[in-house]
Structure 1
Amino acid sequence: MPIIQKGVVSWSGENPGIYLKSASDPQGDWQVLALYFRVVASAHGRGRGILLLGDPAAAAGYPAARNLCIGDNLELMDYLLTRFVPKFGAFRGREALPHVTLLQATGGSTDDRDPSQWVETIAAGDVSLSLAWKGLQRPLAADVGPGISATGEHRMYSLFQGAEKGEVRLNGERLDGVVVERDFLDGKLNSAFLAFAETWVEEGSQ
């Protein structure tokens, strides 16, 4: 493998997620899907944001449904929501995605003081989203080729770290659901996970 990877970097940064299922039906479909993005390099600039599909089957945005994205670079968020998120396994075919309401961020914070957990918060005026990963597990590194990556077009490098618990809050109210263990690449990973140093490379492009 060459020391310098050939291809175009589509974006690089952080992309943790929290996917929750019903406590009474852990084998059923996801009832809450949330992603955090902090992008440090892309053709659309840098930025951070949180995407929430609190009602994944509802063809409606916020406030009619709990489907929204708060970000500080809406051009970047729109790019991620149209080019990448629809190809992520848990998000494929979700009725909510085309209807997500984009809101310009007015503030936010990261709380990483406790090594056993990580918390991201972002707000747009009086609307706020918060994601918390608790009980962090052993990290693992992944090099995922185009044949098995989510997009089928990119090689993806990342460090993943599962969490025993994940909490999603909208305007301070915690959404119902539980974290489950799921198949992930050639192993297992909890559905609440950190994903750092994540880089998507479009191989064959210059």
Structure 2
Amino acid sequence: MPKAKHVGRLSGLAERSDAMVSIYEGGARFQKHVDNPNKDGRVLTSIVYLNSGDPWGADDGGELRMFPEGEPPLDFTPETGRLVLFWADRLPHEVLPAKRRRMALTYWWFDRAEREAKVQELVDEVGNQHLNVSEESMAQDFIAFMLSDTSTPAEIVRKAHTLPEKALSTVATVVGASGAQEALEGIGRLRDSDLKRLRGSMGKMGLQ
């Protein structure tokens, strides 16, 4: 029996993203890009096509066009059930204009070391903007409190309102808000189900 081959780049995979469903129709397209040009932890992209109705035809468009280095472009028709895997940080690709409804389910798979480094970089960026040790510690304690299984949305909201603005700005950076005020507003809308998803997402970023 032949020995299974292993891909070294995938040895650090820790978790996947939440699912993203994208729908293209009426000529919609996506310009050429790389999913992860900034080393945010995404190493692998997986796409499954969920189109309904008749089999996808040559005139329906919506192909996934990939640009392997040193090779001609490759086109993949979005046939229902087709799975496509490619390097999220290396392979440029685009979606050609879709002339009928095109549905795709996408997951990104994270490399733990790169993701942890990116999160630390974001925290450091804010910390370097004259954030004192006390405020940085408060931000870290608050994030740990959010990740705790025992904290409730109401308790998190109360604690968030006690944070100084610079500490809250650090929290905003980590959770993806544009600033302290947006972070407060988002935290104020938290429900139990939202909190569960947030903990899962932050865990994927290396915040355990």
TM-score normalised to structure 2 length: 0.23
Higher helix share: 2
TM-score normalised to structure 1 length: 0.23
Higher radius of gyration, 1 or 2: 2
Higher strand share: 1
